[in-house]
A = this chain, B = another copy of it.
Amino acid sequence: MDIAGIDPSHSNLHRSSEVLFSAKAAKALSFEEIARHIGRSEVSTAALFYGQARASPEDIRNLSSLLDLQEETLAAALSGFPDRGRTVEMPPREPLIYRLYEIVQNYGYAYKAVMNEKFGDGIMSAIAFSTDVKKETDEQGNNWAIITMRGKWLPYSRF
């Protein structure tokens, strides 16, 4: 299996991304293995590598031991509160990410109409939220990616 890495010329990386991805490459670890080790999902583990999710002190401890990185250095780089939203240029130029954008563009109002009827006036939270990706293989041998997003429903306050 190939290991996802980053191109350091990518202009919007978090300062700790290069170190983390290098260590991951050196250890030839997949996000699945790292996620299992730190007890988080694969997507949030990858998001953490991109500086898009928060690392708890335990995450830092576990990552430093798994990746042979100094805990103190890692703590300095990862502590604090993520400044989210900076890695993906919108509209996304990357074809895989663009497909997700296209889904929002094509089905946005359909999702809204269905959710409004099911839940009332409100939104699905992107904060009280989790997501994962699964792989399925059908009988013809085709692979299918299944993304699940689970967000708390927040009704608009009446005021």
- Chain A interface (Cβ within 8 Å of chain B)? 1-10, 12-15, 25, 30-32, 40-47, 49-54, 56, 76, 79-88, 90-133, 135-136, 142-159
Contact = CB atoms under 8 A, between A and B. Distances in A.
Given A43-B107, A85-B105, A117 B148 contact: no
Contacts of A82: 121
B147 A152 contact: no
A1 B79 CA distance: 12
A110 B147 CA distance: 12
A155 B127 contact: yes
Given A127-B156, A135-B119, A100 B96 contact: no
A157 B133 contact: no
A149 to B, nearest CB: 4
A108 B120 CA distance: 24
28 contacts: A6-B83, A25-B80, A31-B117, A44-B159, A45-B110, A46-B110, A46-B113, A46-B114, A52-B107, A53-B156, A85-B92, A85-B93, A85-B95, A87-B108, A90-B90, A92-B104, A93-B105, A94-B108, A94-B112, A95-B123, A96-B111, A96-B124, A127-B156, A128-B154, A128-B155, A135-B153, A144-B153, A146-B149
